[in-house]
Amino acid sequence: MNWFPQYNFILASKSPRRQQLLKSLNIDFDVITKEVDEIYPEGLQREEIPVFLAELKSKPFIPELSDGDLLITADTVVCLGNSVLGKPRDYDEAFAMLENLSGKEHQVITGVCISSNKKMHSFYSLSNVRFKKLLRPEIEYYITEFKPYDKAGAYGIQEWIGTIGITHIEGSFYNVMGLPIQKLYEEIQKF
């Protein structure tokens, strides 16, 4: 089946989770990355932040895209109330993030941008996630063993902490992993 027009897919992400999820669509794609300072302007609504960053990540590629290329960029943030949690810089920051998420519901928002050399389309997906009250030794073990410094909110839902700690999820599981693959599938078909 040809679910999509014949694109040359490019995923601009080092994330092994995003690469794994895109592979699940059964398409061939290249992974190409460029360094981008992930800085966003103050005053954005929390849903706008990952969309802004996904679009920012696409900008260095746009002049280089050929006819038939389809670029996919994404960014994920974790929100607890009005606080936006990015990736922790170190053990202490990771511990503080997980301690703050413990026993509470938070939102995971992934912004996605799909671009060609002719147009760009962006969207986001939001999932509600609730952790049980995490014990201090559980947080310490997870950070020490899994080193979640490349993950927004200092955790991966598919890892040990998600298995033992997440009591409820509303929305896309894959969005929490970093790429709302079902929504991306639909958006590519409309693109």
What three-state secondary structure class fits 114? strand
Residues forming the active site:
75
Instruction: Show Cβ contacts of residue 30 under 8 Å, excluding neighbours closer than 6 positions.
Output: 8, 9, 10, 11
Per the listing, tokens 């511990």 go with: 95
Find, among 78, 111, 109, the residue nearest to 96 by Cα.
78
Q: How many CB atoms sit inside 10 A of residue 50's CB? A: 29
